[in-house]
Amino acid sequence: MAAPTPRIDLMLAGGVTGEVGARVAQVVTERLGAQVSLSRAPAAAAWGKSPDGAQRDAGALLESLLAGAGETRLLLTDADLCTPVLQYVFGAARRGATVAVVSLARLAAPAADPRGPALLAERAGKEALHELGHGFGLTHCREPHCLMRLAHTVQQVDERGNDFCSACRDHLNEVFSAGPTQPGGSRS
């Protein structure tokens, strides 16, 4: 019996372009075998801001995405994200839940870099897969080129490979074979 195809609603927020969204959707489709649909996210004004108001609270975004989530939701935003304990994060997810968020705010290439939009899309794709991996129950991996490797800097994001290691891939295959998971509560 074939594993069910994961369905993911890729929601674009703020100034995230359809081009970047389409590139991320393509990567997610290729790496996870997922059926990805693109949509515009609701207005971000209702989402939690950090105490200084300059960033968005990643946890508050996840909570807003959980409301009414039926299929897996991935929010791609240009808003800078933080958590109560981290000054910034590239993304966040709830392990075992159906929601994840990725910020492009710190993933952009320097203006002088000719790879500009292509590099942004590559980084966003890696982060999207990483956060979706958490959503599907994966933890951080020690394999240097695995997408689940922890990254605190953009350089570390760039050093990751473009796919999951065999152990992480095996876990994903088990999850997809078993069908939908129950919502969890941990943040990446």
* Apex 96 CA angle, 91 and 100, nearest 5: 25
Q: Count of CB atoms within 10 A of residue 34's CB? A: 20
Cα 13 to chain centroid distance, Å, stands at 13
Catalytic residue among 131, 143, 159, 174: 131
Cα distance between residue 133 and residue 140, in whole Å: 9
Place of tokens 């839940």: 97
Q: Active site includes 131?
A: yes
Q: 169 and 185 in contact (C-beta within 8 Å)?
A: no
* Active-site residue set: 131
